[in-house]
Amino acid sequence: MIDPIRLEVFKHLFSSIADEMGVVLRRTGYSPNIKERRDYSCALFDAQGQMVAQGAHMPVHLGAMPMSVAAALDHFGPDRLRPGDVIMLNNPYRGGTHLPDISLLTPIFVASGELIGFAANRAHHADVGGMSPGSMPLSTELYQEGFVIPPILLYEQGRLNQAVWDLLLANVRTPDERAGDLRAQLASNHIGAARLQQMAGRYGLAEVQAEMAGLLDYAERMTRTLIARLPDGQYRFQDAMDDDGIDAEPAVIAVAITIAGDEAVVDFAGTSPQRRGSINATEAITLSAVYYVFRCLIGLDIPSNSGCLRPITVLTPSGTLVNARKPAAVAAGNVETSQRITDVLLGALAQAAPDHVPAASQGTMNNITIGGWDSARNHAFAYYETIGGGMGARPDRAGADAIHTHMTNTLNTPVEAMEYAYPFRMRRYEVRKESGGAGRFRGGHGIVREMELLSPARVTILSDRRNHAPYGLMGGKPGKSGRNVLSKRSAANHDSLAETDLPGKCSFDVAAGDVVRIETPGGGGWGEFK
């Protein structure tokens, strides 16, 4: 029998390790994307590759990371791993999400030489090569998106694989920044491994392993309890991506959630086939969204670990938007399609638990990458950011304004940090008034973020909800769709700006003085307005 009080103590011990890993990664990070936006995630795994604890980081990373650890174990086998090893990978078809998200996995051994678990983190690097700065292009195949890393030993028994290090840095636009962020990831895993070894030394290996297993079982029991409280039946919902950036046709995501007792089957049959553009999601991304949605519904202070998925069967038809086949482009699948999968899952579960599910949030991450040569600082730059928007209204209150929601959990890049690091000038950064959907409870308002470029650059925008607005629930109205605008300086009159509406997914060159404005969607309203 597991002592419940002791189990609660160990739950916090394990999660504190993941949280401390995140603090180390942020404080030692080199790029604004890591140290300011906190676009990273950290987690702790057992020796079998099951996630035991996670930090309060990025849902789209954390739900997919178990597949990365599984891919590493499958590739190397636990018997080949040694103390001092560090595995690196980013391949979306081996448990990754998209290429900018590089994962480092550190196997953790105790004094007896036994493998006890893994410290793992995943960080979004602002550039990993590919056809456009920022590695988030309008691509049609994976190889256009950057440097593909299979599971490979970056460190072997404490010794750096210098050839791998040099090869990676030779294929990115900002090698110093990449090296700095990778070293921060190494430091993060180092502290995670040290803390778990200290715990095993204090409590004993058998006790730590038993508590890991107990927490996984406890999360499973609580998830089963949640599912059992939902009415048995099948709940269907579908929504669509605006387009894939290459072809204009919408792409449908459909789901049927079947609740039977304390188990659930999530079936994505009816989803559109994978597309030419980069909105394709891998199976790991889809599992992340399912894990996130059910974990949110539980709503209790229970461990967030692999046990939550045990009662849930997820069916992702191969070759579709939710389980693309290699070499389909996936840059936007991680950031955009993951948000729509979440919207579809919540739309279905709102039928089973109407008093617990919010209306659709903005449903996009509004990704923008800008890269070029910074003449003032005399070096190349690559900037990446996601922009918040409106949160969907909840059954008992309005949605929050100007916030990152669902599969993203980052901060913004502060204006001061952005202008210090990049050749930009922020002209507007404000709440987008009247963008939240009306209803008994109003959807949250979006954001207006407008920047002037001070150097010529290449800009890529990957966004959605420009045509298909975030839905309202229970009679609430949809949120306002987003909008992207480019204002170019007139050759005849430099003070004059000519506005052009941009599509949701586009890539273009800008000159110094041009202005890019992103108006993000509002959240849907909840309930009929009275």
Give tens-digit pLDDT for 87-109: 999 999 998 899 999 999 999 99
Report the share of the chain in percent with pLDDT over 70.
98
Q: Residue 464 burial by CB count (10 A; 0-12/13-18/19+): exposed, middle or buried?
A: buried
Sequence spans of domains, the chain = 4-219, 358-530
- CA separation for the pair 129, 147 (Å, rounded): 6
- The pLDDT value recorded for residue 137 is 96
Sequential DSSP letters for 341-362: HHHHHHHHHHHH-TTT-PPP--
Encode burial over 396-435: b for 16+ CB neighbours within 10 A, e otherwise.
eebbbbbbbbbbbbbebbeeeebeebbbbeeeebebbeeb
Is residue 429 within 8 A of residue 450, CB to CB? The reply is yes
- Per-residue tokens: 336: 């955009």
Nearest of 428, 414, 465, 461 to residue 443 by alpha carbon: 465
- Coil vs helix vs strand at 122: strand
- Closest Cα to residue 324, out of 254, 290, 269, 275? 275
pLDDT score recorded for residue 491: 67
Place of tokens 């990273």: 40
Is the pLDDT at 250 greater than 90, yes or no? yes
Q: Which two tokens mark 65?
A: 């990371």
pLDDT at residue 1, as a whole number: 67
Q: What is the pLDDT of residue 55?
A: 83
The tens digit of pLDDT for each residue in 477-492 reads: 999 999 999 999 876 6
State the Cα–Cα distance between residues 423 and 201, nearest whole angstrom.
50
Residue 104 near residue 121 (C-beta atoms within 8 A): yes
**pLDDT, mean of residues 18-27:** 96
Q: Is the pLDDT of residue 51 over 80?
A: yes
Whether cis (ω within 30° of 0) applies to the bond prior to 327 is yes
pLDDT at 83: 96
Residue in the block written with tokens 């410290």: 119
pLDDT band per the 50, 70, 90 thresholds, residue 299: confident
pLDDT reading at 56 higher than 80? no
> What was the pLDDT predicted at 244?
97
Is pTM, for the whole model, over 0.85? Answer: yes
In the predicted structure, residue 58 carries a pLDDT above the cut 80 = no
In the structure encoding, which two tokens stand for residue 403, read together?
Answer: 């916030």
Predicted confidence band of residue 302 (pLDDT cuts 50, 70, 90): confident
Cα 348 to Cα 336: distance, rounded to the nearest angstrom: 19
Token duo for residue 379: 């070096």
Q: Are strands 251-260 and 233-241 parallel, antiparallel or unpaired?
A: antiparallel
Distance CA 297, CA 346 (A): 10
Q: What is the mean pLDDT of the chain?
A: 95
Report residue 166 as tokens.
């040099």
Asked if residue 448 has pLDDT above 80, the reply is yes
How much is the pLDDT for 142?
A: 97
DSSP three-state, residue 216: helix
449 membership: H or E segment, kind and range:
strand 446-453
**Residue 355 identity:** D
Tokens 């922009």 — which residue?
387
